[in-house]
Amino acid sequence: MEIKNEILYRIYILLFGAIIPAAIVLIYQTVYISYAEGEKWRKKGEDLYIATRPVEPERGNILASDGSLLATSIPYFDIYMDPNSTGISEKDFTDNIDSLAQCIATYVDNSFTPGGWKTYIEDQRKSGNRYVLIKRKVSYAERQFIEKFPLFNLGRNRGGFIAEKRSERKRPFGLLAQRTIGYTNREDAKPVGIEGSFDQMLGGLAGKQVMIQVDRANDIWIPMDDLSLVEPKSGDDILTTIDINLQDAAEGALERAMNYHDAEWGTAVVMEVKTGAIRAIANLGRTDQGWWETFNYAIGNAVEPGSTFKTASMMAMLEDGFISLDDTIQLERGTTEFFDQTLVDASPYSASIDSTSIRHAFEISSNVGIAKLVDKYYGKKERINRNQGAERFVQRLKDFNLHLPTGIEIDGEAKPYIKEAYSSDHQWSGTTLPWMAIGYELQMTPLQMLTFYNAIANDGELVKPYLVSEIQRFGETIKTFKPTILKRKIASTNTLETIHELLDSVVTRGTAYKLKSDEYNFAGKTGTAQVGYRRTERGQTFIRGYQASFVGYFPTEAPMYSIIVLINKPRRGGYYGSDVAGPVFREIADYIYATEMKLHEPLNNVPKPILAGKQLPTYDAGTREDMLKVLNFLEMPFYGSPSEEIVTLRAESDSLMVLNRTISKNNVVPSVVGLGLRDALYVLENKGLRVEVEGFGKVARQSLLPGTRAGGQTIKIFLQ
């Protein structure tokens, strides 16, 4: 019983002496915190909130074909201070604040005196601020310098040093290919260009870091330490097909033409024929600040192509076997009627021509000639079925892939528009077919038109245009984009050969004859289209401007590059394609021809000629060992097996002979004419002679006659 009572006493002592008093204290503190200090802690809880937040990764670079930087991210830091960091002791703060203020005022921001900075930081500490700006946009070197300041050098927790990393996208080449490179961070526009289409690859993967929210109103978070829970993964680099020098040349040529002709907008694209790789793509539009790449006209703007489309019309008729180039067509002096519409040739050459060959009609780009041909063979109503009439013409255009976008890898490509035959939804009328034949009532982007001509240059093989060749990570290729063949053959070989002949003749004797070069041959087609036109009920046409274009390829014999140039609404200096767009094509092609070594035949790419006697070295003399070594190195065939130490060369017809040159073994002066200085000295000094030298080259004469007794005298040799 006594043991039981003793246990009970101990329990009572523990209960009333420790547990109950502790419970009373906890209840009291709970009530006190909830009511007396409730507002204070609720406010603190609102301001201080810990969470795992994303860490922005380093964005990848966009590179030109030679590795030059087209777009890169430059890191910088915003420097802040947390004067109320939980790790800052009062002693550390007091001991270092004077020195810190002195350093900030001297090296970072002298708008405050050291005393002003000290007061400012102390006031921020008293007010409980945990996010005090020191300086924005400092470099990595500046950051390293600042973090060594007194107090800051104690680290993030003890020193309150905060460095928030930011990055700014820079383009080392300025506005070059601006729209094609694109952007992703504009609030007023969706991502465009390579930046937008490859955003996921360029952007990398965000990391994770524990952060504390110090200002809920402004959503300000600061890291709790310098370590990330998950490190961010940098973005991959994009290697483009763009040749930076060619891009610069294309933009320069286009800008000069835009200025000269006071145009509205223009575009120029250079493509590799075999691969579809785009080497240059320039887009310029008029703005209040001058010319700017505000829109990718080459890819995103579908327009009526005008006369450059006549090539497709000719191909359709050639494929169907309807025409030959020597057939005759009535041009009616450049004017004809289709129902209630009058069609007039833009070319002044047609005004005096009643009839001519189809070849010549194409060379002078006759609207009347091409429209009448297409209407003749595809426009008769009794041929309306799946294989005849306008449906057949439209199907031919589809065979050439003209109804499909190119599928280039950047977003924003406009779809081509080709009317379906006799479709009321497409507003098909009696004049639609002849107007389509000359490039109206349908729409294509400049890149889509270039892709078509590129296929012609490529013997019918249609390749997809592309801008990105590789994805790289830390300089190593992780993915390669190879050329893509969209169609093996868009037309028969006979048709393509005929079209090659026609496009060549446009330059040699047609509308582009003023552009031809004496250095190389190129082929192509001019285009002059009306834009913003409106036809009245009375058949009158009001025109708001013109669109000049030229598309072609070179060199004609083995095409390597295709180029399209399109300039919209030139206001002065002409408006024909041959006058406005053609010279830009020629300037770009001239640049390529001058800088591309593969376009030039090597000078030594011919069989080695048989050397004539006068071209061979003769009467040269020297030591046998040296002579044979040189001849073998030069791969010069020779005859003879000399045994003497000194030999001489002699040319006979087309052969080279190596003969002995006997040096007398008697004590007489030898002849050293023809020897080099080294060999002459060797021979003469071995005879005990003292040698004086004058001149440079080989021995031309000597002061002592050969055969004179050698007795240690001085001999002077003259070199030349």
User: Per mean pLDDT, which range of 252-266, 374-388, 662-676 is the poorest?
Assistant: 374-388
Please report the pLDDT score of residue 550 as a whole number.
Answer: 97
Q: Mean pLDDT over residues 231-243, rounded?
A: 88
Comparison of pLDDT for 687 and 11, the residue scoring more: 687
Average pLDDT over the chain, rounded to an integer:
85
Which amino acid appears at position 370 of this protein?
I
pLDDT band at 524 (very low <50, low <70, confident <90, very high): very high
Confidence band, pLDDT 50/70/90 cuts, at residue 82: confident
What was the pLDDT predicted at 434?
94
Look at residue 226 in the predicted model and tell me its pLDDT.
Answer: 59
Q: How many CB atoms lie within 10 A of CB 678?
A: 11
Cα separation, 342 vs 335, whole angstroms:
7
Sign of CA dihedral 634, 635, 639, 642: positive
- Sign for the CA dihedral angle at 345, 347, 352, 354 comes to negative
SS3 content of the chain, % helix, strand, coil (to 5): 35, 25, 35
CB 505 within 8 A of CB 359: yes
pLDDT for res 292: 82
Averaged over 591-612, what is the pLDDT? 75
pLDDT value for 202: 86
Dihedral sign, Cα of residue 187, residue 190, residue 191, residue 193 = negative
Q: Is the pLDDT of residue 552 over 90?
A: yes
- pLDDT of 121 > 60? The answer is yes
Q: How far is it, in rounded angstroms, from Cα 654 to Cα 386?
A: 74
Q: Write the pLDDT tens digit of every residue in 267-302.
A: 999 999 999 999 999 999 988 888 888 889 999 999
Mean pLDDT of 83-101: 89
Does pLDDT of 480 surpass 90? yes
Q: Of all residues in the chain, what percent carry a pLDDT higher than 90?
A: 43
Q: What are phi and psi of 123, to 5 degrees?
A: -65, -40
Spatial neighbors of 290 by CB under 8 A, at least 6 apart, are none
Cβ atoms of 77 and 166 within 8 Å: the answer is yes
pLDDT of residue 672: 82
Q: What angle do CA 18, 24, 25 make, to 5 degrees?
A: 85
Bond preceding residue 555 cis, omega within 30 of 0:
yes
Mean pLDDT, range 251-280, rounded to an integer: 95
Q: What is the pLDDT of residue 533?
A: 67
pLDDT at 222: 67
The residue that leads in pLDDT, 322 or 663, is 322
Considering only residues 216 and 458, tell me which one the structure prediction assigns the higher pLDDT: 458
pLDDT, mean of residues 125-149:
88
Interatomic CA distance for residues 255 and 234, integer angstroms: 37
The number of CA neighbours under 13 Å toward the Cβ of 124 is: 21
| Confidence at residue 322, expressed as pLDDT on a 0 to 100 scale | 94
pLDDT at 467: 95
Task: Please tell me the predicted confidence (pLDDT) of residue 516.
Answer: 93
* Structural contact between residues 239 and 470, judged by C-beta atoms closer than 8 angstroms: yes
Level-2 CATH architecture, domain 248-599: 3-Layer(aba) Sandwich (3.40)
Within its chain, how far is the Cα of 428 from the centroid? 41
Q: Could you give the CA distance from residue 98 to residue 85 in angstroms, rounded to a whole number?
A: 18
Among 268, 286, 341, 238, which Cα is nearest to 567's? 268
In CATH terms, are 248-599 and 663-720 the same topology?
no
Q: Of all helices (H) and strands (E), which one includes residue 453?
A: helix 446-457
pLDDT at 613 over 60: no
**How far is 162 from 224, CA to CA, in rounded Å?**
10
Range 663-720: architecture per CATH: 2-Layer Sandwich (3.30)
Q: CB–CB of 175/282 below 8 Å?
A: no
Q: What does the pLDDT average to over 332-344?
A: 86
Q: What pLDDT is recorded for position 615?
A: 59
Q: What's the pTM value of the predicted model, to 2 decimals?
A: 0.73
In angstroms and rounded to an integer, the radius of gyration of the C-alpha atoms of the chain is 43
Write out pLDDT tens, residues 397-454: 999 999 999 999 999 999 999 999 998 899 999 899 999 999 999 999 999 999 999 9
Cross-sheet strand order for the sheet of 714-719? 690-695, 714-719, 699-702
What are the phi and psi torsion angles at 499 (to 5°)?
-65, -40
Looking at residue 591, its pLDDT comes to: 95
Residue 211 or 499, more confident: 499
The whole-number pLDDT of residue 609 equals 57
Question: Which sign does the torsion angle of CA 438, 444, 447, 451 carry?
Answer: negative
Q: Where are the domains of the chain?
A: 2-36, 248-599, 607-660, 663-720
- The larger pLDDT score, comparing residue 440 to residue 687, is at 440
Q: How confident is the model at residue 619 (pLDDT cuts 50, 70, 90)?
A: low
pLDDT of residue 704: 83
| Orientation of helix 389-399 relative to helix 310-319, angle to 10° | 110
Average pLDDT over residues 195-212: 81
pLDDT at res. 111: 86
Q: What is the pLDDT of residue 9?
A: 63
Which residue, chain included where needed, has tokens 């009001």?
Answer: 542
Of these ranges, 73-82, 407-416, 624-633, 634-643, the one predicted with the greatest mean pLDDT is: 407-416
Using alpha carbons, select from 170, 174, 192, 171 the residue that is nearest to residue 183.
Answer: 192
Query: Does residue 458 register a pLDDT over 80?
Result: yes
Res. 387: pLDDT tops 80: no
